[in-house]
Amino acid sequence: MLDANTELHHTNCLANGSFRAMFAQSRIPMALVDRDRRYVQVNEAVLRLFEYPIEDVLGSRAGHTVVDEDHAVTDAHWNQLLRTNELYGERVVTHRNGSRMRVSYAAHGTTVGGTWLALIVTLSARFVGGSELVGSPEIRLATAESSRLTAREREVVGLVALGYNTGRIAAELSLSTSTVRSHVRNAMSKTGARTRAHLVALVLGDGLARD
């Protein structure tokens, strides 16, 4: 278990631009995928959620467990991500235990040291007919162009990225829940994010490029 000082360090990672610490520490499943659609890095939350051993994940092709669409549709979605650097949606995938799981995700492409990578973030996952395993994203339309977040907005997004719900974020920052929701809405509006998962993908993706 993290002590108070270590946890505080990680809650400030986003504000400090330390993508890799946030990626590793987050309770939200996150993965990095290369241009060939191969997983190059996943965090522990991915392994806990889907229960595949890491040696089966790294190097495997993203989307190979999707069961609710044919390969042509999956390929079209991937090509959209390559063109626009943005992708979000919902898919049904096969869990390691053979059950079907519905996941909501967002992906953001960025270039790191001349290499293109996509950060894929999952904020909602449930077995078909089962309860939520990660946490439901708040879906909102965003109309504003991307712009710089305030320090407080980045702090809130950092806690969202760690997997904290609105109530815990409010407690951590001594804010009301309505103020937290307002900061999330503002951050989504400024970045053009459609869901919380999309927001995390956009902001952490930019942090990845800076790191």
Check: CB of residue 123 under 8 Å from CB of residue 195.
yes
Q: Alpha-carbon distance 47 to 31, whole Å?
A: 10
Helix (H) or strand (E) holding 200: helix 196-210
Q: How far is CA 42 from CA 27, 29, 31, 118, in A?
A: 12, 8, 4, 12
Residue 147 has phi, psi (to 5 degrees) of -155, 175
Residue 32 has phi, psi (to 5 degrees) of -110, 130
Q: Alpha-carbon distance 205 to 30, whole Å?
A: 11
Please tell me the predicted confidence (pLDDT) of residue 175.
94
pLDDT exceeds cutoff 80 at 42: yes
Please count the structural domains in the chain: 1
**Domain with 140 in it:** 4-210
CATH number at residue 172: 3.30.450.20
Amino acid at 203: V
Please tell me the predicted confidence (pLDDT) of residue 56.
95
Q: Which pTM value belongs to this model? A: 0.74
Query: Which segment of 2-11, 40-49, 78-87 scores lowest on mean pLDDT?
Result: 2-11
Average pLDDT, the chain: 82
Check: CB of residue 129 under 8 Å from CB of residue 101.
no
Please tell me the predicted confidence (pLDDT) of residue 167.
93
Write out the DSSP string of 94-116: E-TTS-EEEEEEEEEEEEETTEE
Q: Region 189-200: what's the mean pLDDT?
A: 84
User: Within a 10 A sphere around the Cβ of 159, how many other Cβ atoms?
Assistant: 21
Q: Alpha-carbon distance 142 to 28, whole Å?
A: 22
Q: What is the DSSP letter of 104?
A: E
Please tell me the predicted confidence (pLDDT) of residue 194.
80
Check: CB of residue 172 under 8 Å from CB of residue 159.
yes
Q: Region 59-82: what's the mean pLDDT?
A: 89
154 or 47: which carries more pLDDT confidence? 47
End-to-end CA distance of the chain: 26
Helix (H, G, I), strand (E, B) or coil at 188: helix
- Show Cβ contacts of residue 95 under 8 Å, excluding neighbours closer than 6 positions: 50, 51, 101, 127
pLDDT exceeds cutoff 80 at 183: yes
Task: Give percent of the chain above pLDDT 90.
Answer: 44
